[in-house]
Amino acid sequence: MPIVKLSESFIRNNLQCPEGKSRIEYCDSELPGLYVEVRATSPGQGTYYLRYKDITGKTCHQKIARTTEITLAEARKQAKTLKAEIALGSDPRAEEKARLAVLTFAEFFEKHYLPYVIPRKRSWKRDEELYRLRIKAVFGHKRLNEISRQQIQSFHTALKNEKLAAASCNHHLKLLKHSLNLAIDCEMLDKNPVARVPMFHEDNKIEHYLNDTELERLLTVLHTDENRPICQIALFLLSTGCRLNEVLSAKWSDVDMSKCIFTVRATNAKSKKLRGVPLNESAIEILNQLDTRGKFEYLFINRLTGMPYCNIHKVWHRLREKAGLKHLRLHDLRHQYASFLVNSGRTLYEVQQIFGHSTSVVTQRYSHLSTKVLNEAAQSASVKIKEATANSA
């Protein structure tokens, strides 16, 4: 960085970068700290800077202006003003330094959010997936305090335009909200830009209930298909109303055959509470068919890996196609179990207890299944009326 006497003539005629260099600094001999940076890509012009040390002794560079924007005299005047402010304890780049000190969303999510939720949230892998596939590309490079409500709303709407289901769009929004709430708790952010962004409200409670013929077709496939482990898992779901994760993570130590109880551990339950599931005859029959008892810790084992099953959806899709039930989801087997209970006259309270619902509101979705039972109850009154009418004639 050559020290020269900067002049208007020098600025007009000598702002050239030496061959082989990408940039050069011409330092003013009259005003220490002032210099002109010239880049090889912009010959004939440069940028005025002031070099100074902050209160920590670190060398900093404050941009003043381009040589095409102000004169040398104006640059010297601004540089002198800045030097006076610095002498009084001011830092021209304090605001910029504070902004750059704020983490980007990617840095926060990967170094703070994930380490926080991994030991606390069973579904953290889903959070990582949502972040990696869509959120990171949009917000990863932005600093936490640069993310605005308008950007969040646009992102939420764009997901809907990609034909994602309303629930899926909302999952992304919820993840952004929860992660930024943690940033607030960690005092890295003052307010959450997601706070007032509305969710999409659509009824996504899709349920497929089987009529007698469909149920017979499904059971025929599950009792005869050669993939016995997956068929047994499906039959156990249908016989207990358990969630898939609860069954795939079930251990033999969770089963009490003498009391006919299957204990869903709190670590596997959606409600995070321990609950006991009564085992009916069909469930006991399935357990008796398993060849893993005494050999493995878990009920259902993938013999190719020697480990519990993680995903059975590919085989399930084949089985439901075979039964002519293309839209039947594994979770629908839980709803089907509920229909067995309600339509046989069991109360919603009993269903709530077996299913482990935290409130009766969740169980109310099955209330429409009892129409047949209610009609039969109402018909009993009609029978009494007709009997009394006949006796009075």
Mean pLDDT of the region 3-8: 92
Q: Is the pLDDT of residue 361 over 90?
A: no
- Phi, psi for residue 354 in degrees, rounded to 5: -70, -40
Give dist(CA 225, CA 105) in Å, integer: 49
**How many other CB atoms sit within 10 Å of the CB of residue 193?**
20
- Judge contact between 342 and 229, C-beta under 8 A: no
Mean of all residue pLDDT scores within the chain: 88
- Phi, psi for residue 70 in degrees, rounded to 5: -135, 165
According to CATH, the topology of domain 212-374 is hpI Integrase; Chain A (1.10.443)
**Residue 79 — left, alpha, or beta (φ > 0 → left; ψ -120 to 50 → alpha)?**
alpha
**pTM, rounded to two decimals:** 0.56
Based on its alpha-carbon atoms, the radius of gyration of the chain, rounded to whole angstroms, reads 35
Residues forming beta bridges with residue 50, ordered by sequence position: 34, 62
Q: Is the pLDDT of residue 203 over 60?
A: no
Write the pLDDT tens digit of every residue in 69-123: 999 999 999 999 988 888 888 877 666 655 556 899 999 999 999 999 999 888 8
Residues 6+ apart with CB under 8 A from 129: none
Residues 6+ apart with CB under 8 A from 74: 65
Write the pLDDT tens digit of every residue in 270-314: 777 788 888 999 999 999 999 999 999 999 999 889 999 988 999
pLDDT score of 188: 87
Q: Which amino acid is at 63?
A: K
Is the model more confident about 120 or about 205? 120
Burial class of residue 139 (count of CB atoms within 10 Å of its CB; 0-12, 13-18, 19+): buried
Structure-token match 């040390």, residue found: 53
- The two structure tokens encoding residue 228: 């016995």
- Phi, psi for residue 329 in degrees, rounded to 5: -90, 160
Q: Is the pLDDT of residue 49 over 90?
A: yes
Cα-based distances in Å from 140 to 136, 137, 176, 255, 259: 4, 6, 11, 46, 53
Q: Is the pLDDT of residue 195 over 80?
A: yes
CATH of domain 3-92: 3.30.160.390
Q: Is the pLDDT of residue 204 over 60?
A: no
Give dist(CA 207, CA 368) in Å, integer: 12
- The two structure tokens encoding residue 382: 């009609």
